[in-house]
A and B are shown apart, each in its own frame.
Chain A
Amino acid sequence: MQQLLLASATIVVGVFGCVGYFFASNLILDSIFPARGPNAGRNILRAGAVRPWLFLFPAIALLTVYLVYPVFVSILLSFKDGTGDNFVGLDNYTWLLSDDKFRESVVNNLLWLVVVPAASTFFGLIAAALTDRIKWGNFAKSMIFMPMAISFIGASVIWKFIYDYRGEGQSEIGLLNALVEMFGGTAQIWLTIPFWNNFLLMVVLIWIQTGFAMVILSAALRGIPEETIEAAILDGASPFQIFLKIKVPQIWGTIAVVWTTITITVLKVFDIVYAMTNGQWGTQVLGSMMYDWMFRANDTGRGSAIALVIMLMVTPIMIWNIRTTRREMR
């Protein structure tokens, strides 16, 4: 109870601090450069030059402390040894290149990068197209979308239950094995099957992200001008042709956005692999490998080097995104 009071007190203080800062700083600015008197014009201009920074200052300060500064520290750490005391040059990176687990992670990450965004966007597009035309479409949409509200870790726990294996001679509790046995197959230890277990993990993320893709794409589909579809129907196009040749080309921009957004989520993926296989049996990805080196091996140098590799992989998408934003603003 006392904790609760303390927590709400901090919130109140924080909010009042922010609002107070906002009013006070603006008032001070207005009294330094009053918008009247002989220099009114010049004062308004000067106040105008300072004012945006008053609004921006708290956020920029926070961002510098928690985002900009750590990125540089991490870059520095990746050139140091495990304890972060001595410079070792490129040692961490040469180690990466020779490490089997790293190679495995990169290959797996690329696999994730190809499969998950493609599958999520594909299923999302289909779901959006199919649910748009039926009465209970909105209900279906919320159901498809629901996994999005569940945490990755929660979803992993749920899917672990699906893939569970009890051992020979025991009846299976895992949903998948029960289904397989019902149809006369033998139960498998799903998560240890080499190579294919990667896909079993990807299913979890696809299951979550499809809802996201569907929501965005269905909004885009509804934004297509009716005349184009009307014209296609008059020209005798089949529903398939309309979908593939009229609708999809018109929402390419949105598809690209959905694709890149999911791509970034995939690059950072960590929870699912960590909770389901912990990177064993050939399922390691960069995100969880980095966590392993940081936390279990306590090696900040190697961990940071892996993190930097992830950063490098994100950078092209980031630049592309900034450039498109800039083009839109012109």
Chain B
Amino acid sequence: MFPRPIQQAPRASRIAYQVALPVALLLWLLPLLGVAMTSVRPASDLAQGNYFGMPSYLAFENYADVFRNSPIAHYILNSFKVTIPTVIGCLVLSCMTGFALAIYKFRSNLLVFFLFVAGNFVPFQILMVPVRDLTLSLGLYNSTLGLALFHIAFQTGFCTLFMRNFIKALPFELIEAARVEGVSEVRIFWFIVLPLMRPAIAALSVLIFTFIWNDYFWATVLTTSAETQPVTAGLNSLNGQWVAAWHLVSAGSIIAALPPVVMFFAMQKHFIAGLTLGAVK
């Protein structure tokens, strides 16, 4: 049986393996565990210097306090208002471009494809000032719509690459057969290719959701006020306000990280499939 299962390895190395691995894992997660622990530690514990012992009780009121004392609910709403349109927009656009680049052979096909690949690599810093000015002149500065619109443009390169490679791997005979039967191109796209793209769509939407939710740079460049800022930018300004209140900072960080983490655990398979497909191809 290959590779040899761990049960057949020598006893000493087996024990070392079984002890070392959980310890390493625990160390890896220590930052998260520390923050989770602090987030439910009552303020009175912190005042008495009980930083690392057991909390005297589980203070879930810290979470309530975060919601009460800060506009975090609004920040989260803003994050959704940026993220969801971006995911939808990217998917719609990249399904179309991916289809065109994978199915049709035309002269500048490669050129367009490389435009999208290159778009993938452009460092966002170089876009900052022109995009800010552009958004200002469009009247979309400091609005979730302006932020979402830019995200759609910026992510389309990656999504197109992803979709094109996925469609390219589909059996081309399907499309040829449909063409021979006289099915119009629109219907081929809509009824044959699109249903087959479901796994790619799932994977891509999870990926884009996390990317956009976690974006901080553009959030600070294109939005300025608590009414429009997403939760990443909000978290950083709250962090500045609550210098000494670690229990609130911790609870706030956990609240901000919850949607992508939940998304990740719920759709782990798609997430990993997406990363693998996006990176290896």
A-side residues, CB < 8 A to B, are 3-4, 7, 10-11, 14-15, 18-19, 22-23, 26-27, 30, 48-49, 51-56, 58-60, 62-63, 65-67, 69-71, 73-74, 77, 130-134, 140, 142-154, 157-162, 164, 171-173, 175, 178, 207, 212, 215-216, 219-220, 226, 229-230, 233, 239, 242, 254, 257-258, 261, 264, 267-268, 270-271, 275, 286-287, 290-291, 294, 300, 303-304, 306-308, 310-311, 314, 317-318, 321-322, 325-326, 329
Contact = CB atoms under 8 A, between A and B. Distances in A.
B127 A153 contact: no
B51 A171 contact: yes
B84 A11 contact: yes
A26 B185 contact: yes
B117 A311 contact: no
Contacts of A257: 279-280
B261 A149 contact: yes
B100 A308 contact: no
B93 A59 contact: yes
B122 A67 contact: yes
A184 B276 CA distance: 45
Nearest to A216: B279
Interface stretch (B63-71, B169-177, B197-205, B264-272): B264-272
Interface of B: 2-6, 17, 21, 25, 28-32, 34-35, 38, 46, 49, 51-52, 77, 81, 84-85, 88-89, 92-94, 96-97, 99-101, 104, 106, 109-110, 112, 114-119, 121-131, 133-134, 144-145, 149-150, 152-154, 156-157, 160, 184-186, 210, 213-217, 232-233, 235-236, 239, 246, 249-250, 253, 256-257, 260-261, 263-265, 268, 272, 275-276, 279-280
A264 B121 contact: yes
7 contacts: A14-B88, A26-B185, A30-B186, A67-B127, A133-B6, A153-B216, A173-B51
Consensus secondary structure, chain A interface: helix
B249 A161 contact: yes
B93 to A, nearest CB: 5
A10 B263 CA distance: 24
Given A59-B156, A146-B261, A311-B123, A303 B186 contact: no
Contacts, number: 284
Contact of B3 (A4, A71, A229, A326): A229
Contact of A303 (B34, B124, B129): B129
Contacts of B152: 62
A70 B49 CA distance: 52
A290 B125 contact: yes
A66 B154 contact: yes
B123 A149 contact: no
A89 to B, nearest CB: 19
A53 B101 CA distance: 10
A157 B34 CA distance: 12
Given A14-B85, A161-B250, A150 B261 contact: yes
A206 B86 CA distance: 28
Contacts of B32: 146-147, 158
A177 to B, nearest CB: 10
Contacts of A152: 214, 216
Given A146-B32, A254-B280, 7 more contacts: A67-B154, A133-B3, A140-B21, A146-B264, A153-B216, A153-B232, A310-B125
Contact of B85 (A10, A134, A304): A10
Contacts of A264: 121
A175 B28 CA distance: 13
Given A67-B153, A77-B129, A322-B118, A154 B253 contact: yes
Q: Ordered nearest first, which 5 A-B pairs have the shortest CB separation?
A: A151-B214, A55-B100, A70-B130, A66-B153, A73-B130
A291 B220 CA distance: 10
A22 B257 contact: no
Nearest to B168: A329
A321 B117 contact: yes
Nearest to B211: A151
Which of B5, B184, B257 counts the most chain A CB atoms within 10 A?
B257
Contacts of B94: 59
A67 to B, nearest CB: 5
A54 B218 CA distance: 30
Contacts of A161: 31, 34-35, 38, 246, 249-250
Which of B85, B153, B263 counts the most chain A CB atoms within 10 A?
B153
A7 B29 CA distance: 37
A303 B221 CA distance: 14
Contacts of B104: 48, 51-52
Given A59-B156, A144-B25, A173-B246, A291 B88 contact: no
A304 B131 CA distance: 13
Contacts of A22: 96, 186
A7 B123 contact: no
Nearest to B210: A149
A171 B250 CA distance: 19
Contacts of A254: 280
Given A55-B100, A144-B28, A14 B130 contact: no
Contacts of B235: 151, 153-154, 157
B18 to A, nearest CB: 8
